[in-house]
Amino acid sequence: MKLIVAVARDWGIGRAGDLLFKVPQDMEFFKNTTINKVVIMGRKTLESLPGGKPLKDRINIVLTRDENFKQEGCIIVNSTEALFEEIAKYNEDDVFLIGGGKLYNDLYHYCSEAYITKFDAVVNADTYLHNFDEDEDWLLTYASEVHDHEGLKFIFNTYKNLALEKENN
């Protein structure tokens, strides 16, 4: 499983259930990276998508404690154990954790890689991601050139989970 997210300089990722940044290049990167893949999200993340509908051309898995929750076009799981049973059916390189904050912070250590778009800005966030730069188990393996959107600078980064790699060897 991999993780994909956009963060502010202080590792903020959201406010009031919405993204902090909606930059076309980052949205395109997300789409191109996850298209025809499996995406894992929490119920609130699903509800924050346009129309509360699953992402097109992807297998959408929603983790929620609400055992009565149903959404057409989604596979619903009610526990982490059930989630891992479900994602075992797929190639682990095709599975992406896409939010929200609680899922990211509960499950990041199960991810082999993290695709993190870092924006050079601090926004009034209420949801934050674990700081991968301060975690010795994670290694920055790629940083793109600096991109710019209307004065907002950002970099596409890839981190590798060294602890998980060690565990698997």
What's residue 167's pLDDT?
Answer: 81
What's residue 168's pLDDT?
Answer: 79
What's residue 94's pLDDT?
Answer: 98
Is residue 93 within 8 Å of residue 34, measured between CB atoms? no
Q: How far apart are CA 3 and CA 10, in angstroms?
A: 18
Domain spans of the chain?
2-168
pTM above 0.85, yes or no: yes
What's residue 155's pLDDT?
Answer: 98
**Torsion angle of C-alpha atoms 13, 15, 17, 18, degrees rounded to 10:** -70
Q: How far apart are CA 67 and CA 163, in angstroms?
A: 33
How many Å separate Cα 163 from the centre of its chain?
A: 19
Instruction: Give the CA distances from residue 27 to residues 87, 105, 136, in Å, rounded to whole numbers and listed in that order.
Output: 24, 22, 29
Q: What is the pLDDT along the chain (169 residues), one digit of tens a residue?
A: 999 999 999 999 999 999 999 999 999 999 999 999 999 999 999 999 999 999 999 999 999 999 999 999 999 999 999 999 999 999 999 999 999 999 999 999 999 999 999 999 999 999 999 999 999 999 999 999 999 999 999 999 999 999 988 887 6
Quick one: 2-168 is in which CATH superfamily?
Dihydrofolate Reductase, subunit A (3.40.430.10)
